């Protein structure tokens, strides 16, 4: 082993050489960039490599290939130590609004692909890296580049649309004849009506992309191998990091440190250290050892060194597939297909094949393939030398255990070629296709006797079915000698059931589904092989029925396409009048360049401390003792705070009623309940100390699910009821009565920026300044004032922007804000905290889960006669906003249909879960979803189309709702008719029916759903808005209003409104922030009403200014804005004005069932088509058409962005996003690794959005309508299209009639609803005989 080890880290960042003498091995590249180099453009979104917000580009010189390689990485996982000898480019390094935006930054900004902007730098860097490697990618390559990136705001479409301009398909070479010219220049689409536009940006405005102008790779790294050849050793506070450069050195280190972890990409160890509290004192990075990097092609196969990255492996295998005979590379093709779904590029670029094997994950994507293929592994140790072992059922000894001795190292894996009569396929089913861990995966291989269909050898390996990857040995043995014929399938299914048992309480749950997947995978394999044998004429040419062939192909997705139609501004509208025009989000450029400042991006303040929360690990328990002594011994720790440290008698808190505590005093009510806080000099010290606080509990009974609450009668008063008409008479007049129930699951907000706060105490009068990521600064001000025992006028809360909110930052931000403020007050020093993703998800609550039990009466032609409904919601441990959420659910339980007789009772369930809270739609989507469930049941019961049932009951102009509000300007039917026409619904209905008649294992579904969403706060007093306008003597205008910017474009719209009133360009108007010392007593930015309320207040304030300027305009009519402003100033006329608005004619009396709870309604309709895989439960959205009534749009680009973003968020709610709690109330889904929001690859392949033309709304600013929440429910069209497809599968199985499908329609629910011979093989265990791994709350 080398005697000399270098302890100096050398690398480059944005072209600047970095030399770090005392690097901390536990520090990630992201932490180093943000805290040491003060480059905050790279964001922390999850700390587990699952969201892509931290993406940067790393470059290295590959001496073996003599070329520079660029690759994207997750900076949140990459250890800064691993950057030695490399060059890093961050978003700040490629462009800036202060100099020049890079074309990637410019195009995502101008194509409206940045809303909240928190994810934007990571997406920019993924695209930038792709272009550095491939200056002219295909659309498929472009879309693939974002497999490791998430966005919660945009719905992805505008990002893809903007970046399409870089692709081969966009650069067709046809010049003026290019088909893109029309749609990209603002000219009307030929399919659009007169006065409609179909372009949201002009690609001719984009700066050209010139690859030759990119920053050069540091010559120092290219000219010399010095840094590559150095053995490294970095010693930190708790960890020592080694990077050996020879195999001997590695084996000596491993012999000396047998428990050391070997790290290449840190994608597993990084997560273990961060989230599983693992501590590894010694880390060895075998990234520079030639033997572990070698790739060798032999006569028998290809050998990969264990440090070969998955990206490199894929490149080599693709080359082999192109060059070798097809039969030899069948296993290679299966591995390539599996890698397509293996994490994102950022992970595959650094994760090594050896790490994938040695990690020994029971759900590894690759290990089942390696084992079934008959791979071999080469191992080595200092004293034992080399040995070769088969990678088979003997390799894994138990959970995360292998045959390697503590001192052994994996050197390489050999993947063999296949024989001509050998076939191999791999399978994987996950909750989401892109970047998701498997539920079950498999590798299956069969070898036949020469030129016939008799099985000679078979191997079947499965992940997700045991604590290790397992092989179905008995099944494989029994199959040998059998003919590959249909009777084999049933026998193999029986054998697999015996080979792969799962207990009902097995970890992971979904027992019947997982077992069904094993047999379904085999059936797919059987059909695939049979088809190949048929091609080779080894079996009868008709052995695979035509109806079964659709089960064979691997998943394919066409490149995305879309259209957007909106009404153009009236001819003659002044150029400076921005209302109704497409205006880019005012901060888009800064967001794309990383210059936009979010709460945690603010520079550290002198003396600043970091806070970490101490939270409960029990769901319901008494606190017997709190012992912080060990925590206080950790270096850097300043203090521990608990309920005793809250000033005065102010520990009680809550957004509406004070039924919560800042710090738990005697009892914890859920996992994540805040007990205390540790304050230290750094985040690392604070978090380590928080985990060291010892708490003794005495457990108490828990209530977790809605059913638990019903059984325990654990309800929170009051209970709202609604009675309309005579329900009993309605039922007696009905020809049919059905009963049923439906559950709508919860949903995690998953704003990309987690809860964040900085509290800065002032030196006098108890003043404090708060910088907080909140939708509700006035609530922050009031609750902090209460907690500190000072008047509200001593507290100022400032909000520059949020990285997403969606309701999750309306009230639950106080869970973090109050401890931070109390700590700052007590220590008289600035205190900061930004929650980690897992903390945020555990602590802050989610969308309310609902359960609806209904009884519906209707006539023989589908007319609704009566509804009786019991609604239950899971509120969590406190009231929060649950009462108001339930009220909105009650207001929306009709969706768009007239219900003459109705009786509804609501129940707010108190459980031992984190308090659930506001989320986009605020109870409306849950109420409407339950409604559409029974509307669908009516159609199925009567055997008529769902379209007919919806149309016959649809509201008309002048109808009165069940809460007695008259519908004025009711555009439901207009939206409905237009979406039917634009989507070619009737034609496609026939096409779907034809497809389903010809296919057994793939089914398509089609559904059209309308929506009606009430706009207003249902609490009357909240329908008010304020504004403040300052005009400065140079003519510039500073605007403030009561709303907060969280990506929805509110500030941009308010500037447009002010532009119209003041008759000046938007460039003269600026909004700096939202703060309580400019506009007081503001309402939360919520309920979709912020543009209405604050927009009218802006109009009011600007009109006052304009009235004051009017005499000067009259005196100098040919003057300019600047002239009039200066004249007013010198005449001592005030150029500052407040504005105020309160919504007129609003208010509802629950006791009398009268009044108008809403100012107006936003309407819309959507048609969606899906295709499901009946054997796996997978689905793809083929097309969605939306028509939305937004009145006269203030900004079509922003409104369409809200429609698309809301729709995709709703798609997650209704299909993908399953929240999993243990029966004891512990949250399993704590980050993007386990909780899946939609990704780039999940959006509809064709996504068309139209704004309804000619709609005016006199009750909002400039005839516009609110748009934030209404589109979300339209995503239920996908849910009901899935249900339509499942119905076809059930009919093929001989099952007719209604069936229950709860939301979300996960792959498990889809598959198990497609009842067939495979699902029937695994009936569920009897409830009560076992404890399930997770429950639906």
Task: Encode pLDDT of 1252-1297 as tens digits.
Answer: 999 999 999 999 999 999 999 999 999 999 999 999 999 999 999 9
Q: Which residue has the tokens 């605020």?
A: 922
pLDDT level of residue 2 (50, 70, 90 thresholds): very low
Lowest mean pLDDT among 175-179, 300-304, 363-367, 757-761: 175-179
pLDDT recorded at residue 177: 55
Could you give the 3-state DSSP secondary structure of residue 1104? Answer: helix
Taking the CB of residue 828, how many other CB atoms lie within 10 A of it? 10
| Calpha distance 764→768 (Å, rounded) | 9
Q: What is the mean pLDDT of residues 514-531?
A: 97
pLDDT recorded at residue 193: 66
| Calpha distance 84→18 (Å, rounded) | 10
Q: Which residue has the tokens 């869970």?
A: 815
- Could you please report the per-residue DSSP string of 979-1017? HHHHTTHHHHHHHHHHHHHH-SSEEEEEEEEEEEEEES-
pLDDT recorded at residue 1199: 98
321 φ, ψ (degrees, to nearest 5):
-60, -35
Could you give the 3-state DSSP secondary structure of residue 220? Answer: helix
**Count of positions (residues) in the chain:** 1337
| Calpha distance 859→836 (Å, rounded) | 54
Of 1180 and 204, the structure prediction assigns the larger pLDDT to: 1180
Active site residue 408: no
Paired sense of beta strands 301-305 and 864-876, if any: unpaired
pLDDT level of residue 1078 (50, 70, 90 thresholds): very high
CA–CA–CA angle 801, 1190, 922 (5° rounding): 60
| Calpha distance 674→813 (Å, rounded) | 13
Residue 1304, preceding bond cis, omega within 30 degrees? Answer: yes
pLDDT level of residue 731 (50, 70, 90 thresholds): very high
User: Of 59, 58, 13, nearest to 36 (Cα)?
Assistant: 13
Q: Which residues contact 1169 (CB under 8 A, 6 or more apart)?
A: 988, 992, 1004, 1005, 1006, 1181, 1182, 1183, 1184, 1281
| Calpha distance 137→278 (Å, rounded) | 41
Lowest mean pLDDT among 195-199, 215-219, 397-401, 1243-1247: 195-199
pLDDT recorded at residue 192: 57
Task: Encode pLDDT of 907-941 as tens digits.
Answer: 999 999 999 999 999 999 999 999 999 999 999 99
Give percent of the chain above pLDDT 90.
Answer: 95
The answer to whether the pTM exceeds 0.95 is yes
pLDDT recorded at residue 183: 40
Q: What is the mean pLDDT of residues 859-887?
A: 98
- Could you please report the per-residue DSSP string of 691-736? HH-EEEEEE-----SHHHHHHHT-EESP--EEEES-HHHHHHT-SE
158 φ, ψ (degrees, to nearest 5):
-65, -30
| Calpha distance 879→317 (Å, rounded) | 57
Q: Which residues contact 1130 (CB under 8 A, 6 or more apart)?
A: none
pLDDT level of residue 537 (50, 70, 90 thresholds): confident
1229 φ, ψ (degrees, to nearest 5):
-90, 90
CA dist 183 to 186, 189, 331, Å?
6, 6, 44
User: Of 204, 220, 209, nearest to 94 (Cα)?
Assistant: 209
**Dihedral (CA of 3, 7, 10, 11) sign:** positive
Task: Encode pLDDT of 136-157 as tens digits.
Answer: 999 999 999 999 999 999 999 9
Answer yes or no: is pLDDT of 179 > 70: no
- Could you please report the per-residue DSSP string of 599-629? GGGSPPPTT-EEEEEEE-SSSSEEEEEEE-H
pLDDT recorded at residue 974: 98
Task: Encode pLDDT of 1006-1058 as tens digits.
Answer: 999 999 999 999 999 999 999 999 999 999 999 999 999 999 999 999 999 99
Task: Encode pLDDT of 19-32 as tens digits.
Answer: 999 899 999 999 99
Task: Encode pLDDT of 585-629 as tens digits.
Answer: 999 999 999 999 999 999 999 999 999 999 999 999 999 999 999
57, two tokens: 């580009």
Answer yes or no: is pLDDT of 640 > 90: yes
pLDDT level of residue 3 (50, 70, 90 thresholds): low
pLDDT recorded at residue 181: 52
What average pLDDT does the structure give for the chain?
96
| Calpha distance 440→650 (Å, rounded) | 51
Of 370 and 276, the structure prediction assigns the larger pLDDT to: 370
Of 91 and 6, the structure prediction assigns the larger pLDDT to: 91
Q: Out of 485, 1269, 1308, 1326, pick the active-site residue.
A: 1269
Answer yes or no: is pLDDT of 451 > 90: no
Answer yes or no: is pLDDT of 863 > 80: yes
pLDDT level of residue 866 (50, 70, 90 thresholds): very high
Could you give the 3-state DSSP secondary structure of residue 322? Answer: helix
Answer yes or no: is pLDDT of 342 > 60: yes
3-state secondary structure 845-906: CCCCCEEEEEEEEECCCCCEEEEEEEEEEEEECCCCCHHHHHHHHHHCCCCCECCCCEEEEE
pLDDT level of residue 182 (50, 70, 90 thresholds): very low
Are the CB atoms for 1088 and 1268 separated by under 8 Å? yes
Of 170 and 1238, the structure prediction assigns the larger pLDDT to: 1238
Are the CB atoms for 1182 and 1243 separated by under 8 Å? no
| Calpha distance 701→7 (Å, rounded) | 54
pLDDT level of residue 97 (50, 70, 90 thresholds): very high
User: Of 890, 912, 915, nearest to 903 (Cα)?
Assistant: 890
pLDDT recorded at residue 174: 52
């Amino acid at each position: 082993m080398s005697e000399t080890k270098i302890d100096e880290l050398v690398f480059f960042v944005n072209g600047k050489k970095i030399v770090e003498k005392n690097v901390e091995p536990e520090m990630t590249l992201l932490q180093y960039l943000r805290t040491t180099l003060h480059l905050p453009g790279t964001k922390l979104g999850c700390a587990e490599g699952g969201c892509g917000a931290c993406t940067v580009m790393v470059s290295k010189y590959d001496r073996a290939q003599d070329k520079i390689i660029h690759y994207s990485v997750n900076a949140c996982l990459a250890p800064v130590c691993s950057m030695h000898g490399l060059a890093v480019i961050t978003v700040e390094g490629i462009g800036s609004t202060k100099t020049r935006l890079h074309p990637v930054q410019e195009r995502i900004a101008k194509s409206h692909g940045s809303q909240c902007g928190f994810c934007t730098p990571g997406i920019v860097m993924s695209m930038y890296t792709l272009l550095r490697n491939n200056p002219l990618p295909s659309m498929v390559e472009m879309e693939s580049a974002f497999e490791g990136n998430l966005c919660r705001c945009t719905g992805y479409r505008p990002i893809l649309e903007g970046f399409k301009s870089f692709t081969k398909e966009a650069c067709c070479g046809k010049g003026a004849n290019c088909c893109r010219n029309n749609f990209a220049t603002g000219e009307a689409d030929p399919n659009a009506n007169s006065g409609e536009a179909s372009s949201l940006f002009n690609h001719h405005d984009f700066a050209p992309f010139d690859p030759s102008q990119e920053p050069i790779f540091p010559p120092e790294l290219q000219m010399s191998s010095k840094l590559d050849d150095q053995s490294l050793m970095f010693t930190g506070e708790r960890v020592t990091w080694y990077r050996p450069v020879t195999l001997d050195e590695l084996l000596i280190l491993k012999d000396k440190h047998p428990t050391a972890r070997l790290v290449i990409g840190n994608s597993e160890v990084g997560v273990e250290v961060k989230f599983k509290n693992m501590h590894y004192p010694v880390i060895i990075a075998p990234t520079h050892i030639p033997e572990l990097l070698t790739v060798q092609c032999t006569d028998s196969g290809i050998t990969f060194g264990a440090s070969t990255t998955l990206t490199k492996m894929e490149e080599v295998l693709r080359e082999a597939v192109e060059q070798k005979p097809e039969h030899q590379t069948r296993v290679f093709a299966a591995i390539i297909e599996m890698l397509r779904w293996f994490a994102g590029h950022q992970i595959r670029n650094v994760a090594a094949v050896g790490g994938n094997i040695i990690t020994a994950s029971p759900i590894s994507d690759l290990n089942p393939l390696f084992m079934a293929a008959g791979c071999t592994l080469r191992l080595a140790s200092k004293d034992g030398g080399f040995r070769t072992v088969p990678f088979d059922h003997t390799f894994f000894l138990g959970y995360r255990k292998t045959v390697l001795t503590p001192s052994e190292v994996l050197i390489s894996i050999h993947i063999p070629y296949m024989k001509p009569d050998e076939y191999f396929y791999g399978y994987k089913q996950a909750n989401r296709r892109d970047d998701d861990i498997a539920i079950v995966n498999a590798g299956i291989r069969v070898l036949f006797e020469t030129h016939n269909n008799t099985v000679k050898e078979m191997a079947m390996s499965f992940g997700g079915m045991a604590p290790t990857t397992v092989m179905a040995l008995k099944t494989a043995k029994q199959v040998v000698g059998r003919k590959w014929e249909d009777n084999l399938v049933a026998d193999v299914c029986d054998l697999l059931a015996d080979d792969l048992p799962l207990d009902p309480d097995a970890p992971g749950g979904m027992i019947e589904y997982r077992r069904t997947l094993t047999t379904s995978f085999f059936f797919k394999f059987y059909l695939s092989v049979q088809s190949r044998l048929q091609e080779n004429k080894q079996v009868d040419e008709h052995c695979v029925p035509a109806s079964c062939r659709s089960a064979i192909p691997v998943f394919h997705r066409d490149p995305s396409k879309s259209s957007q139609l909106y009404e153009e501004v009236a001819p003659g509208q002044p150029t400076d009048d921005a209302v109704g025009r497409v205006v880019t989000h005012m901060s888009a450029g800064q967001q794309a360049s990383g210059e936009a400042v979010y709460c945690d991006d603010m520079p550290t303040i002198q003396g600043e401390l970091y806070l970490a929360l101490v939270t409960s690990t029990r769901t319901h328990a008494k606190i017997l003792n709190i012992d912080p002594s060990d925590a206080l011994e950790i270096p850097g720790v300043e203090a521990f705070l608990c309920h005793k440290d809250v000033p005065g008698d102010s520990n009680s808190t809550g957004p509406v009623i004070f039924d919560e505590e800042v710090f738990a005093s005697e009892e914890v009510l859920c996992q994540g309940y805040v007990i205390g806080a540790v304050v230290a000099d750094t985040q690392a010290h604070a978090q380590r100390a928080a985990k060291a606080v010892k708490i003794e509990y005495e457990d108490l009974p828990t209530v977790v699910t809605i059913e638990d609450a019903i059984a325990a009668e654990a309800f929170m008063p009051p209970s709202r009821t609604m009675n309309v008409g005579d329900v009993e008479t309605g039922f007696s007049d009905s020809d049919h009565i059905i009963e049923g129930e439906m559950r709508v699951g919860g949903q995690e907000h998953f704003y990309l920026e987690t809860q964040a706060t900085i509290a800065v105490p002032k030196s006098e009068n108890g003043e404090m300044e708060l910088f907080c990521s909140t939708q509700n600064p006035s609530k922050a001000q009031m609750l902090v004032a209460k907690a500190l025992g000072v008047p509200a006028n001593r507290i100022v809360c400032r909000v520059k922007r949020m990285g997403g909110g969606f309701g999750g930052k309306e009230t639950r931000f106080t869970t973090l804000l109050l401890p931070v403020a109390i700590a700052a007050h007590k220590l008289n020093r600035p205190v900061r905290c930004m929650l980690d993703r897992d903390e945020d998800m555990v602590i802050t609550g989610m969308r309310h889960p609902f359960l609806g039990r209904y009884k519906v009466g209707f006539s023989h032609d589908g007319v609704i006669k009566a509804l009786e409904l019991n609604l239950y919601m899971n509120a969590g441990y406190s009231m929060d906003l649950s009462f108001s959420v339930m009220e909105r659910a009650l207001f929306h339980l009709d969706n768009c249909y007239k219900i003459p007789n109705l009786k509804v009772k609501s129940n707010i369930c108190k459980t031992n879960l984190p308090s659930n809270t506001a989320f986009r739609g605020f109870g409306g989507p849950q109420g409407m979803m339950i409604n559409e469930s029974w509307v669908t049941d009516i159609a199925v019961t009567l055997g008529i189309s769902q379209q007919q049932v919806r149309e016959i009951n649809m509201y008309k102009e002048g109808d009165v709702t069940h809460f007695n509000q008259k519908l004025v300007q009711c555009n439901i039917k207009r939206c409905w008719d237009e979406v039917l026409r634009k989507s070619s619904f009737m034609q496609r209905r026939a096409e779907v029916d034809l497809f389903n008649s010809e296919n057994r294992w793939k089914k398509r579904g089609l559904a059209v759903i309308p929506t009606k969403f009430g706009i207003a706060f249902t609490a009357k007093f909240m329908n008010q808005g304020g504004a403040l306008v300052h005009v400065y003597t140079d003519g510039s205008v500073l605007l403030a209003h009561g709303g907060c910017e969280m990506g929805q474009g509110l500030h941009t719209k308010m500037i447009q409104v002010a532009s119209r009133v003041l008759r000046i360009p938007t460039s003269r108007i600026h909004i700096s922030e939202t703060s309580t010392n400019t506009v007081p007593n503001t309402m939360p930015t919520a309920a979709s009403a912020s543009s209405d309320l604050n927009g009218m207040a802006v109009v009011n304030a600007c009109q006052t200014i304009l009235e004051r300027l009017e005499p000067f305009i009259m005196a100098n009519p040919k003057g300019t804005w600047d002239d009039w402003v200066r004249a007013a100033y010198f005449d001592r006329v005030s150029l500052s004005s407040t504005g105020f608005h309160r919504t007129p004619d609003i208010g509802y009396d629950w006791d009398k069932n009268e009044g108008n709870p809403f100012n107006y309604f936003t309407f819309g309709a959507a048609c969606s088509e899906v295709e499901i895989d009946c054997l796996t439960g997978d689905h793809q959205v083929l097309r969605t058409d939306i028509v939305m009534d937004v009145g006269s749009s203030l900004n079509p680009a922003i409104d369409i962005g809200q429609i698309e973003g809301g729709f995709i968020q709703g798609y997650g709610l209704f299909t993908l996003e399953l929240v999993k709690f243990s029966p004891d109330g512990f949250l399993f889904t704590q980050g993007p690794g386990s909780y899946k929001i939609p990704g780039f690859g999940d959006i509809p392949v064709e996504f068309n959005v139209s704004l309804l033309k000619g709609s005016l709304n006199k009750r909002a600013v400039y005839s516009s309508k609110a748009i934030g929440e209404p589109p979300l429910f339209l995503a239920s069209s996908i849910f009901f299209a899935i249900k339509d497809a499942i119905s076809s599968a059930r009919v093929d199985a001989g099952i007719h009639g209604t069936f229950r499908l709860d939301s979300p329609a996960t792959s498990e629910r889809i598959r198990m609803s497609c009842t067939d011979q495979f699902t029937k093989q695994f009936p569920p265990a009897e409830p009560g005989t076992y404890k399930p791994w997770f429950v639906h709350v």
